[in-house]
Structure 1
C-alpha cells in the first residue's frame, strides 16, 4: 500500500497542503474545523510522518540522549521510568547509552549522542567532569543527576548522600545498636564517599568511636554485599547491625548473612539506601533510606525540555528544592537491639 503524504491528507480534508503542514507541526493556529478535518484524515489514511524530513526542516531530531551506567541497573531503570513518564505526549524519544562508571567511556558516549543530533542530554549519574559538561553544553543543553553544577546550559541534581548516611546510621542507633557495620559503595563514587561520611558523623554524634574494622568495601551490587558480609563474619568482629550503601548491596548482604547462619533481624538488623521496588518483596522486606528516584527522572526530563524549549521550567536551578526529601522506610529487616 502506498504511504500517505501531506498532499493526500490535504485532498481528503479539503484544505491546502500548507495548512496540513502547519497543523501537524503546530507552527500556527488554524480554524478548529480545519484542524478536526485534518486529524480525521490522518486517522483515515493512517498517516505516518517522515521524521527525517521533519528533522531537516525544523532543525530538531525530537530525540534526547540518556547516559546511564548499566542497562540492567534497577536504580537507573527506576529513574528511566520517570524520564519516560515525563516524555509522554511530547513527541520526544530517548536514546539510552551506558558508561560503566568509566569517565572516558562516558565522554565518548556523550559525544556519540551529540553526533546523532540529539536535542538534549540527560545524565543519570556518572564520572564525567564538570569542565567536560560545560564544554559539551555549548552544543546541546544538559541536565544531570549526581553532579553539582548549574549554568545557563547545564542543570543538575545531587541527592544529599551524607544526610542519608547519617539518617540510616542514626536510625540503627536509636534502635539501641552500637556495633554497626557499614558496607561502602564504589570506592571512587561520590555518593558512596558521602554516605560513609554520614555514617561516621552519626557515630560521632552518639559518642561511639569509629572502628575501621567494621567498614568493608562493596561495589553497589549484590555480589559485593554478599562478599562483604563474608569478610565481616570472618574478621570475628562482633556487629548487630549493618548499614548498606544501597539496596542492591542489602540484597546481597541478606543472602550472605543467611549463608553464615545469621538471621535478619533476629541476629543482625539491616538497612539499605534507595528504596528500590524489590525492597518491599525481599525476605525479609528491607528497611531503607528512600530517595526520590522516579521523581528525579521526571524532574530531570521536564527541566531538559524546558531548556530546549526556553520555557519557565528552565529557570528551576535548585532542582532538589522541588523533590521529596529523604525519608526512612521501616520494614522487617530491622528491630531494636536485644542483649
Structure 2
C-alpha cells in the first residue's frame, strides 16, 4: 500500500480510505490511486479489510441436499448474487433433519459468518428467530417477519391448485396425485391445492388416487406401480415435484402406457432436465434461481442494516407435451 501511495502521490491513509470506500477525494486522486494499483498489480488484503469492518465476508448457506438439482438451481442464484461483492458462500447440508440443521447453523455461527441463508428445511420459525439474535437470516420456503430476518416464500397451495386446474380444464376428472412427504410444508400445501381444485370443479375426492412419495425419482416410479396395482382408473397424474414425475414417466413407459395419449402428466418445479424429457414435461415453474439470488441480495442488505420485507412469489404453469385434452 505504501508503494501505491508513492506512485499515486497521495498519503497511505488516502489509499486505505479509497480501498474501503470511505474516502471523499477528488476524481483525479481516485483515478491516480486506481492507475497505481493497476500498474503495480496490487492486491488489497481482503482479510485485513474485513477484520477492520468487523466482518468475515462469508455467508453461510444451509441447503438440504447438495446432490439435488432442485437445490443446485437455488444455489446458483445465491452464487450469482454474491459474485463481485467480496462475500464468499460457506455451504452446509441439513439433510432434512431438524437436529442436523440446528447443528449446522451453530457451526456456521461459530465460524463467524456475517449472515445465513436457510433453503427450506424443517426448523420451526421460533427456532430460526432465536438464531437471528446472533446473526441475520434469510429463509426460503416459509413466512417469517423480524428485524434481522426475512423470508422468500412461494404460494404452494395456489400452485397445486393451478396444476390440478390445468388438468381439469383439459377435461380430466380422474386425476391421481403423487404427494410429497407429510412433514414437508410445501408438499402439504400442494396437496391442499389439489383438493381445492377438485372440490371447486365438483369432482369427488378419491383417496385411492393419492399415493405418498418422498420427492425422489424412485418414489414416483413406485407410486405409479401402486396405482396400477390398485386397479383404480385415472387419466392424469399430478406429481408434487419434477423428480417424482420422472419416475412416474419411467413406470408408465415400462407398462407401455403412452404420455400424453393414454395418461397426462404434470410435475412441479421446472428443473432444467424437464425441458429434455421424452416428451418434455408440463410443470409448474418455481423461480428457484431468482429466489436464491433474491435471498442473497436481501441478506446483504440486512447485513448493511437495511430493512428488508418478506415476499411471496408465484409459480408459473409451463405447458409442454405431457398433457392433452380428453375428447
Shared fold (TM-score greater than 0.5)?
A: yes
Change (3 A) 1:169 1:284: same
Name stretches of at least 5 consecutive residues in structure 2 with no aligned partner.
none
Cα distance between partner residues in 2 of 1:256 and 1:43: 60
**What SS does the corresponding residue of 1:149 show, helix, strand or coil?**
coil
Cα distance between partner residues in 2 of 1:89 and 1:252: 39
Cα distance between partner residues in 2 of 1:47 and 1:106: 41
Deviation per residue, 1:297-319 (Å, 9 max, x gap): 122112111111123xx34x241
**What SS does the corresponding residue of 1:162 show, helix, strand or coil?**
helix
Equivalent residues in 2 for 1:84-103, closer than 5 Å: 84-103=79-98
Cα distance between partner residues in 1 of 2:283 and 2:261: 17
Instruction: Find out whether 1:40 has 2:32 as its counterpart.
Output: no
Cα distance between partner residues in 2 of 1:57 and 1:223: 51
Give the equivalent residue in structure 2 for 1:3: none
Question: 1:230–1:260: 8 Å Cα contact kept in structure 2?
Answer: no
Among 327, 334, 339, the residue aligned to 2:316: 327
Cα distance between partner residues in 2 of 1:211 and 1:44: 74
Cα distance between partner residues in 2 of 1:94 and 1:200: 40
Question: 2:144–2:310: 8 Å Cα contact kept in structure 1?
Answer: no
What TM-score comes out, normalization by structure 2 length? 0.96
Name stretches of at least 5 consecutive residues in structure 1 with no aligned partner.
1-5
Instruction: Find out whether 1:145 has 2:157 as its counterpart.
Output: no
Give the equivalent residue in structure 2 for 1:271: 266
**What SS does the corresponding residue of 2:202 show, helix, strand or coil?**
coil
Cα distance between partner residues in 1 of 2:157 and 2:18: 51
Question: 1:83–1:300: 8 Å Cα contact kept in structure 2?
Answer: yes
Equivalent residues in 2 for 1:89-168, closer than 5 Å: 89-168=84-163
Cα distance between partner residues in 2 of 1:272 and 1:40: 54
Structure with the greater relative contact order (CA < 8 A, sep ≥ 6): 1 or 2?
Answer: 2
Q: Choose 168-177 or 29-38, whichever is displaced more.
A: 29-38
Cα distance between partner residues in 2 of 1:326 and 1:210: 24
Instruction: Find out whether 1:229 has 2:201 as its counterpart.
Output: no
Equivalent residues in 2 for 1:198-237, closer than 5 Å: 198-237=193-232
Q: How far is the alpha carbon of 1:233 from its aligned partner?
A: 1.4
Q: How far is the alpha carbon of 1:129 from its aligned partner?
A: 1.7
**Root-mean-square deviation over aligned CA pairs:** 1.4
Among 147, 167, 185, the residue aligned to 1:172: 167
Deviation per residue, 1:151-183 (Å, 9 max, x gap): 111111221111111111111111111111100
How many residue pairs end up in the alignment?
A: 327
Cα distance between partner residues in 1 of 2:325 and 2:301: 47
Give the equivalent residue in structure 2 for 1:9: 4
